Structures are given as structure tokens and as C-alpha cells.
């Protein structure tokens, strides 16, 4: 008999998720946080007004998020009864995993996939299985080769964080076609609004025509509501039923719901965010490559920037130098990418400053750091 309470198997294998840092240390006059893929435009002014107008804080919120689900359904032409809302897509990832994965089961994801997938699988008592990627892209054949009778769920971030790469819809359909019907395919489309590719589809079509596909979205990225924790998923009715049985009854607060409704209806603000990202994603890619750095082509609102493995020019040293100038990027060692940094597309000032600071860093002129 144990001398004290012991967590169940799997819990202590979890390496706690570490968010992108926010601080640069003492002596830095201005911080540019480019570590968490937050929008530099902030939320819709209409969403801010909706939060300010929220009241009746003594009352519980609508436990079914009815008006929010209806707003999402109207936006995308969906059945609101097929939508579940959560405290960020992170909560929904945990809920779907807990609904379908248990001890002895396996959950599958790609080599550089979102860290929360592994955490959710271990927390549910399952075994994480990792499929290697090909040139920082998810590899459908590698994923399918690792499906076993124990596989219960497959996660595909599309676009993927932190690489910024994506699979065309033809490949997503091929992945789905190769999965047994009892395996849940979760399409994590947190960055879908940013994608400007004709061969991309977030997954709505597959959800509508399948019994084992779930698509997840978030209000944390292009909608600028990360602080409120708000996300949603659309799924077949039987999966929605299972998730709602384990979902907390009041998992979303009222102000978040009000802001989400206003945000998803403000197409003008979203359009500005898309235009800003399209301009500066291309500019940063070109400028960083001109410095001699390898940049993985991205369709999201961030870039995976690779650094040389030579003394004085490594990703770790670049991160320290950038931080000393108030530029906070994301170390991604936990993703198996110790020689790269993830750079969020910021405002014009931050974007230009990153390029100038990296130019100084790579030239070896660091005496003022």
C-alpha cells in the first residue's frame, strides 16, 4: 500500500506545457512579445464593447452557450446542435481525448505537432504515438503506418504549430480514408483564417460527410480573445453527445461568449488582420532569408526560423540577444527543434526591429547588448 496518494499511470510522464515567455528581464525599455502567436491588431472593437456591456455577474452563464453556437453556425452554415464550445480549444482537446482514450489505447500525432496532444493523451491514460514528418510537414503515409488496433484518436494540426506548414485537402481526405471507422480524426484548425491557399480546407466538409471527424477552432488567434479562453468544435451528433456528457456545465463565462459573438460577426476586423498578416509574413520571410537564415514556408501568423549550429549564431544565443533588446520569440526545444525559433508576425515596428536586430546579431556586432 502506498504511503501517500499516487497519480494514476501516465500523469507523471507529462511534461507540463510551458507558454511563450512574456518578459525580457531588467533594463529593457519596451517589450515586443512575439512568442505566443497573438494578433498585433488586438480584438475587434465590437468585441471589447460587448465585454464592457456584460453584466449580471452574480448569475451563472448559459451552460449551453446557445447564442454563441448560433452565431458560429450562422457564420459557417452549420447546425448549432453539432457545435460544442470550450474554454479555448485546449479544453476541447482534453475533452475529446478523455471521451475516447483510456488505459491501453493509443493516440497519434505528427513529430512536431502541438504539445497539448501528448499531454491530453497521457492525462487520459493513453499512450502517445508519434509519426515522423517530412520536411516539417505531416506525412500521411507515416501516420497511417502507425495506426494499430489500439489507436483511438489521431490529431492533425492544419496548419501546424510551430512549423507553419499545412496539408492540402486532398491529403487530409487521403488520411481520413485510410483510418479505421472507429478512430476519431481531430482536425485542429486554430490558424485556418490566415491560410491563403486554394488547396486548403479547414475540415468542415469532412465533418459534414463523416462519422469520425472533428474540427476545432479558436478565438485566441485572429480574433484576439486569447485572454478570455474561447474555442469551439464541430462534430457528428454522437461525438457531440459524448463530449457534452463530460464537459463542465458552465465552462465558458458570459463576457467571453458576448465577445465571441461580436468578434465572429466583425468581418471587417478579420479582413484587416488577414491583410496585415499576408503583407508582413511575406516581408519577414524575404528579409530573414536575405540574412542567410532558413525560414520554413508558413501559412499561419508565425514563422519557423532556423539558425546555424555554430558558436555565436545558435538559436539559443539569438534568443538571448533578441531578449536583451526586448524582442521575445519562442524557444521550441520541447518540439524537437532546438536549432530554431518561432517568430509571431507582429506590428510594423516589431517586425522591422526583429530583422535589424538579427542582422546585428549575425554580423557579430553585439557589444551594446
Q: Has residue 62 been placed in a domain?
A: yes
| Kind and range of the H or E run holding 302 | strand 302-306
Within this chain, do residues 201 and 177 fall inside the same structural domain, yes or no?
A: yes
Q: Has residue 75 been placed in a domain?
A: yes
Residue written as cell 483510456? Answer: 102
Q: Look at the chain and report how many structural domains it folds into.
A: 2
Within this chain, do residues 261 and 297 fall inside the same structural domain, yes or no?
A: no
Within this chain, do residues 49 and 16 fall inside the same structural domain, yes or no?
A: no
| Cα-Cα-Cα-Cα dihedral sign, residues 73, 76, 265, 221 | positive
Ranges of residues in the chain whose predicted pLDDT is under 70: 21-22, 24-27, 365-369
Residue 10, number of CB atoms within 10 A of its CB: 16
Q: Has residue 32 been placed in a domain?
A: yes
Question: What cell was used for 66?
Answer: 446557445
Summarize pLDDT for 255-301 with one digit per residue, the tens: 999 999 999 999 999 999 999 999 999 999 999 999 999 999 999 99
Q: Output the domain CATH number for residue 262.
A: 3.40.640.10
- Residue 308's domain spans which residues? 11-42+268-363
Within this chain, do residues 88 and 56 fall inside the same structural domain, yes or no?
A: yes
Q: Has residue 81 been placed in a domain?
A: yes
Of 235, 266, 297, the one marking the end of a domain is 266
What separation in angstroms does the CA of 92 have from each of 197, 217, 245?
A: 27, 10, 13
- Report the pLDDT value the prediction gives residue 111, as an integer from 0 to 100: 97
- Report the pLDDT value the prediction gives residue 184, as an integer from 0 to 100: 98
Residue written as cell 479555448? Answer: 88
Summarize pLDDT for 198-213 with one digit per residue, the tens: 999 999 999 999 999 9
Q: Has residue 368 been placed in a domain?
A: no
Task: Measure the CA–CA gap between 207 and 228, rounded to whole angstroms.
Answer: 27
Triad 40, 169, 120: Cα angle to 5°: 65
Within this chain, do residues 72 and 193 fall inside the same structural domain, yes or no?
A: yes
Q: Has residue 1 been placed in a domain?
A: no
Closest by CA position to 284, among listed 344, 369, 208: 344
Amino acid at each position: 500500500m502506498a504511503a501517500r496518494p499516487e497519480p494514476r499511470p501516465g500523469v507523471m510522464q507529462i511534461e507540463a506545457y510551458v507558454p511563450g515567455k512574456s518578459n525580457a528581464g531588467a533594463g529593457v525599455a519596451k517589450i515586443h512579445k512575439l512568442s505566443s502567436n497573438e494578433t498585433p491588431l488586438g480584438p475587434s472593437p465590437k468585441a471589447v464593447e460587448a465585454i464592457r456591456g456584460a453584466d449580471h455577474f452574480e448569475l451563472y452563464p448559459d451552460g449551453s452557450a446557445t447564442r454563441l453556437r448560433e452565431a458560429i453556425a450562422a457564420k459557417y452554415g452549420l447546425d448549432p446542435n453539432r457545435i460544442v464550445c470550450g474554454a479555448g480549444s485546449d479544453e476541447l482537446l482534453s475533452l475529446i481525448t478523455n471521451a475516447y482514450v483510456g488505459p491501453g489505447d493509443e493516440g497519434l500525432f505528427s513529430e512536431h505537432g502541438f504539445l497539448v496532444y501528448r499531454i491530453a493523451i497521457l492525462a487520459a491514460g493513453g499512450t502517445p504515438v508519434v509519426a515522423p514528418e517530412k520536411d516539417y510537414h505531416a506525412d500521411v503515409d507515416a501516420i497511417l503506418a502507425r495506426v494499430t488496433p489500439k489507436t483511438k484518436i489521431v490529431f492533425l494540426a492544419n496548419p501546424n504549430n510551430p512549423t507553419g506548414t499545412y496539408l492540402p485537402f486532398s491529403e487530409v481526405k487521403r488520411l481520413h480514408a485510410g483510418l479505421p471507422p472507429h478512430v476519431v480524426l481531430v482536425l485542429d484548425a486554430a490558424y485556418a483564417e490566415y491560410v491563403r491557399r486554394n488547396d486548403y480546407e479547414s475540415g468542415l466538409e469532412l465533418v459534414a460527410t463523416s462519422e469520425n471527424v472533428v474540427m476545432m477552432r479558436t478565438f485566441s488567434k485572429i480574433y484576439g480573445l486569447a485572454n478570455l479562453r474561447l474555442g469551439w468544435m464541430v462534430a457528428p451528433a454522437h461525438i457531440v453527445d459524448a463530449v457534452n456528457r463530460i464537459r463542465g456545465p458552465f465552462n465558458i463565462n458570459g463576457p467571453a461568449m458576448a465577445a465571441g459573438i461580436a468578434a465572429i460577426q466583425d468581418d471587417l476586423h478579420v479582413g484587416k488582420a488577414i491583410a496585415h498578416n499576408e503583407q508582413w509574413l511575406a516581408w519577414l520571410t524575404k528579409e530573414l532569408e536575405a540574412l542567410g537564415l532558413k525560414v520554413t514556408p508558413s501559412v499561419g501568423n508565425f514563422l519557423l526560423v532556423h539558425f546555424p549550429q555554430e558558436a555565436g549564431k545558435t538559436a539559443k544565443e539569438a534568443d538571448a540577444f533578441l531578449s536583451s533588446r526586448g524582442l521575445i520569440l519562442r524557444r521550441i526545444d520541447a518540439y524537437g527543434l532546438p536549432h530554431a525559433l518561432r517568430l509571431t508576425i507582429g506590428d510594423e515596428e516589431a517586425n522591422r526591429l526583429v530583422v535589424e536586430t538579427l542582422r546585428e546579431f549575425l554580423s557579430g556586432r553585439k557589444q551594446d547588448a
